[in-house]
Structure 1
Amino acid sequence: MGARPLDQEVLTVPTGVAIRDVRRQLFDAAARILLRDGPGALTSRAVTTEAGCAKGVLHRHFTDFDEFLAEFVLDNVARMDEQAAALRDSAGTGTVAGNLTEALTALFGSVAVAMVGLVTVRDELRTRLRRTWPAGVPVLTDAAVMIGAYLSAERELGRIAAEADADTLGVMLIGGVHLLFVAGENTPPDTPAVRKVVASVLAGIEREPDRPA
């Protein structure tokens, strides 16, 4: 009989609790470690211990730990699609600065910032990612595209200036807010601080909802 698909596999952990969807369980464990302890604490043993499964489980499904980490990063990029869709759907509602502040705070309050550090410190991981992600840092580049798409939608609605370069503004917003979160070390910036960065980038181009350009 052939092996069952990964998402149907069931493992029994020491507590006797069955784990379904090994891949998701391991990725979620890696995210918790990354947020709690930083990239230096992320090892295969730490991940399997956090997931509550035998240490050999990870290596039965991934060639090595760097392959696991590459899949972990790309999985998080794929999961940003829902957030991108929600941000696009918010175009025309509220204020541009408010929508961006909320989206950027949620983005950088997630595992994204810690993941950038992970990619930075692991040479082999960057090499693996280059096979499917030829340029930039996954998560940040995808986030810049997400912000650019939203600003393009707002530009079409006349809520930002017609001459505004949505893609460049997206890069500026991601870069500025990323630096804000990194500078805070273990203390994330508050909402007014994020809004201040957003307002600075949008200065002179945001239009009032009832005053289309």
Structure 2
Amino acid sequence: MPTGVHIQDARAQLFDAAERVLLRDGPHALTSRAVTTEAGVAKGVLHRHFEDFDAFLTQLVLDRIAQLASLAPIPGVGDVVDNLTETLTRLFSSVAVAIVALITFRDDLRHRLRQARGTGGVPLATEAAAMIGDYLRAERDHGRIAFDADVDTLAPTLIGAGHLLFADRHAGPPDPEAVRRMVVTVLATALP
């Protein structure tokens, strides 16, 4: 790209390009060159906006974590199983599975994310489990989940089982009924 051409939102353009590379080629193919080539910008653009590639990846993941709130189901509305099935499908149909693989693949990224977030666990998966836990607690308050349901165990179980269903990027998404069956099975003792 010639110098002097103004890029409207380089950060968003680079993040979107990184997602496309991740989804198409996997975490091993995600390099600064691959991202800038996919974005159609000079390599210097990335380094103008980020200290280094790991700083870029850290901000990408933190940005995607911040977007999780938009996936949260609304408590008290619709069917709990349907809500969770849809939420997990939307979550894992996005770039989330590829980001979890990226975090697992890159030790420095995982370390930076833990420092930035101030928590342990697998970034993105941990926040997704917290979102689901908050939803289940709210549904418990509405009487739609058993009062003694252990939401702190159910939420990460749903995230882990959902991740396993969606983890094979090459096979395509699982059948929606398979996701629903998993949600019903995990919540079997929690539904009144």
Normalising by structure 1, we get a TM-score of: 0.84
In structure 2, how many angstroms separate the alpha carbons of the residues matched to 1:194 and 1:17? 46
- Structure whose CA Rg is larger: 1
Superposed displacement of residue 61, structure 1: 1.5
Contact 1:35 1:111 in 2 (8 A): yes
Deviation at 1:116, TM superposition (A): 0.6
Partner Cα distance (2:178, 2:14) in 1: 34
Aligned positions of 1:50-69 closer than 5 A? 50-69=38-57
Correspondences of 1:7-156 after superposition (within 5 Å): 13=1, 18-84=6-72, 87=73, 89=74, 91-133=75-117, 134-156=119-141
Gaps in structure 2 of 5+ consecutive residues? none
Aligned length in residues: 190
Q: Is the 8 A contact 1:149 1:167 kept in 2?
A: no
Match among 180, 189, 193 for residue 178 of structure 2: 193
Supply the distance in 1 between the matched residues of 2:45 and 2:97 (Cα, whole angstroms): 27
| Structure 2 CA distance for aligned equivalents of residues 181 and 36 of structure 1 | 15
Secondary structure of the structure 1 residue equivalent to 2:61: helix
* Cα 1:183–1:43 shift into 2, 3 Å: closer
Larger RCO: 1 or 2 (CA < 8 Å, sep 6+): 2
Kept after mapping to 2: 8 A contact 1:152/1:166: yes
2:149 alignment partner, SS class: coil
Q: Which amino acid aligns with 2:134?
A: A
Alignment of 1:153-172 (within 5 A): 153-172=138-157
Alpha-carbon deviations, 1:66-119, whole Å to 9, x = none? 1111111111001112223xx1x2x22221101000000000000000001101
Q: 1:131 to 1:184 in 2, by over 3 A?
A: closer
Query: Counting helix residues as a fraction of each chain, which structure ranks higher?
Result: 2
- In 1, Cα distance between equivalents of 2:51 and 2:190: 49
CA contact (8 A) 2:71 2:90 kept: no
Counterpart Cα distance in 2 of 1:185 and 1:167: 31
Contact 1:29–1:50 (Cα < 8 Å) also in 2: yes
Give the letter for the 1:46 counterpart: A
Alpha-carbon separation, structure 2, partners of 1:93 and 1:61: 42
Q: Contact 1:101–1:194 (CA<8 Å) still a contact in 2?
A: yes
Give the TM-score of the pair, scaled to structure 2: 0.93
- Root-mean-square deviation (CA), in Å? 1.6
8 Å contact from structure 1 (residues 44, 65) kept in 2: yes
Identity rate, percent: 61
